Amino acid sequence: MAPSAWAVCCLLGGLLFRGSSASPGPSVPRLRLSYRDLLAANRSSIFLGPRGSLDLQVMYLDEYRDRLFLGGRDTLYSLRLDQAWPDPREVVWPPQPGQREECVRKGRDASTECANFVRVLQPHNRTHLLACGTGAFRPSCVLIAVGHRGEHVLQLEPGSLESGRGRCPHEPSRPFASTFVGGELYTGLTADFLGREAMIFRSGGPRPALRSDSDQNLLHDPRFVMATRIPENSDQDDDKVYFFFSETVPAPDGGPGRVTVSRVGRVCVNDAGGQRVLVNKWSTFLKARLLCSVPGPGGGEAHFDQLEDVFLLWPRAGRSLEVYGLFRTVSAVFQGFAVCVYRMEDIWEVFKGPFAHQDGPQHQWGPYGGKVPFPRPGMCPSKMTAQPGRPFGSTKDYPDEVLQFARAHPLMFRPVRPRGSRPILVKTHLSQQLRQIVVDRVEAEDGTYDVIFLGTDSGSVLKVLALQAGATVEPEEVVLEELQVFKVPTPITEMEISVKRQMLYVGSKLGVARLQLHHCETYGSACAECCLARDPYCAWDGTTCTRYRPGTSKRRFRRQDIRHGNPAMQCTGQSQGEEAAGLGVETSKVYGTEHNSTFLQCLPKSPQAAVRWFLQRPGADGPDQVKTDERILYTEQGLLFRRLSRLDAGTYICTTLEHGFSRTIARLALEVIGAEQLHSLFPPARAGLASAPPKAWYKDFLQLIGFANLPRVDEYCERVWCPARSRAKQAKGKSWAGLELGKKVKSRAQVERNRTPREVEAT
């Protein structure tokens, strides 16, 4: 085969070669839907704002009001949670007069930094939200009137404008986390203009503001991810606000350099600071390491140290809160991502354990072995501390030794290990990075499953299952779908899930998308397809692949097998036998020419299926599996013959094998045209040939001769079928050449007329 034809074939076929027995595995998305596919199926709708880009910074889903609030550059939006984003509301909130100019004078970029980027959207009361923005490096906060439930109001309250220092970062890209509890805003941020003063800050309520002790060196270049209130028991006085973040700390054991670790920290909601020590500073702050690593041989571990995102899966009856963390490696050589799940009870146990202690900068960390004062440092003033003879009703009542100990020992010695002591999901060698995570707990026919949605930096969402067969067995990763949410590749920065509406709200700098969690009709109209999809949302109801709903009356007709995806067991009597045997697959004729290349196309519906080819020769008892060599190659698109032989003739059967279920998806009858027959079809062209084959044969010839003889076909058709057009083309070429020559002569004469005598003499 000619090299040029080989290159063209590779281009057209998208050829990525693999062995016949190799299967891509469940880590490859079983279904890929493009931006256009999602819109065509009415599964997605996009809001880009009136100017075509939101420059989105923060997103707040309010299911009580059935609204989605967005904060962007100088603008806030309110969207109703309806099908096509009807009647959006907009409020313009630019920086105060003169602040943009001041920002530019201080050396900041006018287009990317000197604007009011809204970073905080938190519920303030029944009718208002608290919004805070960077204000061109002069942070400010304001109340936004949003009305009661059922109303669609969005108005800025001008009289409520106040400074946002300590409540919102100066920079639009600085990592930041906040939550609103009891009329007060808790924030984790860097609060100064230069981005060096990291702190946890509480403000906005009747109590004095509280902040981290800058002398205590509690936080080391933190990257905050989430802040949220998590009750520990029925005593509200014991409630705490938890912060999830990563920080860069000196290497352990006094080694050189610095390392990144992920943390969970907490403060008591009723912390009031100390009376003489830690005045207006946190007196209950503690932090512990979140460990996410893969066990290796010899006791070693591969660590995923950088925390990217956190999702809290709140419990139903009888279950506890679980924390899903998305981590990545910080190595410049190896790039990977992992998802670890932590039980809240395990986090509480670590905070009840030993404190970390270090005798000096060059000493190793170890558990504190001395006496721990009462009340235990980090405890909230509650029923546990207010014992007879010990009236510790406020942190201001705590003895100085308790506060001094808390100041010197903010770190717990034991790390928080994930459920199962390993990640439930590990992804390496990705062409894209993972940025966001949300989780939905779904009840299926054969159990309860956590469906994980991962947002990427290319604008797509991965829908993944992590199946755990046993405590000591590594979880099985099943990538159900890859959904290209945004047309232009753009990092996903926000994701919110509505279980009530079965919707995922996906935000990026460009805009926000409303995405259905499932679309069972996509899996086809066969029981086997529905079962092989392994989607907990979907089941075969006897007629179609449809939404699974627990407790419905058609229970006996529902077919679903998430753990194994075995249609042979689930689809008995649903015509899967005919489908597997390929009885419903028509045989198509394909022609190839001897000594030329031929391609037999076979496109499986699932990239997770292994493709196998069989050949039924004329007169043979049964089909034989096609063996590959340098002449015959398996590709992702089909079977490629680099040089066809007459012995290759026969019926080729393309089958797929997925979870032990085999079926036929294509039958191609290949007829080989001998080389001498090809030459008889194309005799030497003679001018003035009276009879010519019908023009309808042209497509048949194209199919017969392959890429190598395309120039010969074009020449033959030009001379035999279109002699008038050929002569016209030649005449047109001659007239065009004459015209060009005439133009050159005329131009030359014009030049000669304009020349001066001195120029002529010089020539």
The dihedral over CA atoms of 125, 129, 130, 132, expressed in degrees to the nearest 10, equals 170
Please compute the mean of the pLDDT values over residues 135-163 and round it to a whole number: 95
- For 48-117, where are the E strands, in sequence order? 58-62, 67-71, 75-80, 89-92
For the stretch 330-352, pLDDT in tens is 877 778 999 999 999 999 999 99
pLDDT at 240: 97
Residue burial 477-494, b: 16+ Cβ < 10 Å; e: rest: bbbbbbbbbbeeebbbbb
Q: Which range, of 12-26, 419-433, 501-515, averages the lowest pLDDT?
A: 12-26
More confident residue, 648 or 191: 648
For the stretch 706-743, pLDDT in tens is 444 455 555 545 554 555 555 555 555 454 445 444 55
Q: Interhelix angle for 723-754 vs 710-720, to 10°?
A: 90
Q: Which range, of 158-167, 308-317, 572-581, 639-648, averages the lowest pLDDT?
A: 572-581
pLDDT at 559: 83
Please compute the mean of the pLDDT values over residues 104-116 and round it to a whole number: 93
For the stretch 429-459, pLDDT in tens is 788 999 999 999 999 988 899 999 999 999 9
More confident residue, 238 or 6: 238
pLDDT at 461: 98
pLDDT at 717: 52
pLDDT at 302: 86
User: What Å distances lie between residue 635 and 178, 307, 599, CA to CA?
Assistant: 51, 39, 10
Highest averaged pLDDT of the listed ranges 17-31, 464-478, 594-608, 670-684: 594-608
For the stretch 649-681, pLDDT in tens is 999 999 988 877 888 889 999 999 988 777 776
Please compute the mean of the pLDDT values over residues 685-692 and round it to a whole number: 46
CA atoms within 13 A on the CB side of 276: 7
For the stretch 605-636, pLDDT in tens is 788 888 999 999 988 888 999 998 999 999 88
Q: What is the DSSP secondary-structure string of 130-144?
A: EEEE-TTTS-EEEEE
pLDDT score of 324 more than 50 = yes
